[in-house]
Every structure is written in structure tokens, then in C-alpha cells.
Amino acid sequence: MGPRLRRLMLTTHITLSVSWIGAVAAYLVLDVTTATSQDPQTLRAAYIAMASITWWAIVPLAYASLATGIIMSLGTKWGLFRHWWVVLSLLLTVFAVLVLMSETRTIDFLASAAADPTTTDDELRALPSTLLHSVLGTVVLLVVTVLNVYKPRGLTKYGWRKHQERHQA
């Protein structure tokens, strides 16, 4: 990958990744609202907005961030499996996407219940919270960010072998 393309891809990847964290932050605000409010109108609006943020921002940004991260690793000196921090970042990102996609069923259920005019105020107040997932998901994304900024040293066995081959040639 040439320098211009690499900078473009890096800028794209950083923008998508930070946007993913921002979308999760917006979701988290709504999630805190649903966990602390007793007002039925607020709960209805928050649950419906949570589904919109999930499907129109978080899910696309998660997949785009994962894809651009893989492209960046394959197109740069870091490689996909040469350094432990890249492997760990990849695994955490894949884990975050899998948990997100699993959690979308709950989010859709909550939004559907909130949008249903036959759902009573007491039923709205009794809906389960996704706050734990939101907080833990945010922590995972921040850990991935720290890994990508600090790039802790340490080659995998594959990376060490490639390093040795390059220096023996």
C-alpha cells in the first residue's frame, strides 16, 4: 500500500472507529435514561431511538471499522498476525461485533414493545436494561483504541518467523 493510500485508509479507519465509539456513547446516554427514568413517554422515545442508533449508526460503523482495520493491517508493516496487539485488537473487535449482533435482538424487542401502543406504562417500566452490555462494550472499544495507539511490543510466532526471514535474506 502506497503512502497516500495508506494515509487515506488510516484516516478512514480512525474516523470510522471513533465514530463507532461516539455512536455507542449516544446509545449509552439513552440506555442510562431508560435505566433511571420512570416516565413512559421518555422510555418509549429512548427505546425507539436506541434501535435507530443501533441499526443506522452502530452496526454499520462496527462492520466498517472491522473491515478497514483488517485492510490496514494487511496493507502495512504491522500485518494481521505478526504482532500480538493486532491479533488482540482483531479478536476484541470481532467479539464486540458478535455481541452487538446478538444484542440487536433484545434492542429490537425493546423498541417494538415501546412502539406498541398496547404496552402499558408498568410494562414499559419493567423492560430489561441493556446498560451492562453498553458499558462493557464501551470498555472493549476503549481497550482496542488503547492497543491501537500504544502498540505494545511483542511478536507472535508467525511474526517472529517473518522477522527472522527478512533479516536472513
Least confident of 15-24, 77-86, 87-96, 100-109: 77-86
For residues 134-143, give the mean pLDDT.
Answer: 97
pLDDT per residue over 88-97, tens digit each? 999 999 999 9
| Grid coordinates given for 55 | 441499526
For residues 60-79, give the mean pLDDT.
Answer: 94
Q: Provide the pLDDT for residue 167.
A: 84
Would you say residue 169 has pLDDT above 80?
no
First-to-final CA distance of the chain = 22
pLDDT over 70 percentage in the chain:
99
Q: Band of the pLDDT at 76, cuts 50, 70, 90?
A: confident
| Grid coordinates given for 132 | 451492562
CATH C-level class of 3-168: mainly alpha
Q: What's the rounded Cα separation, in Å, for the pair 77 and 105?
A: 39
The secondary structure of residue 60, as a DSSP letter, is H
pLDDT per residue over 96-118, tens digit each? 999 999 999 999 999 999 999 99
Q: List CB contacts of 106: < 8 A, sequence separation 6 or more.
A: 128, 130
For residues 11-35, give the mean pLDDT.
Answer: 97
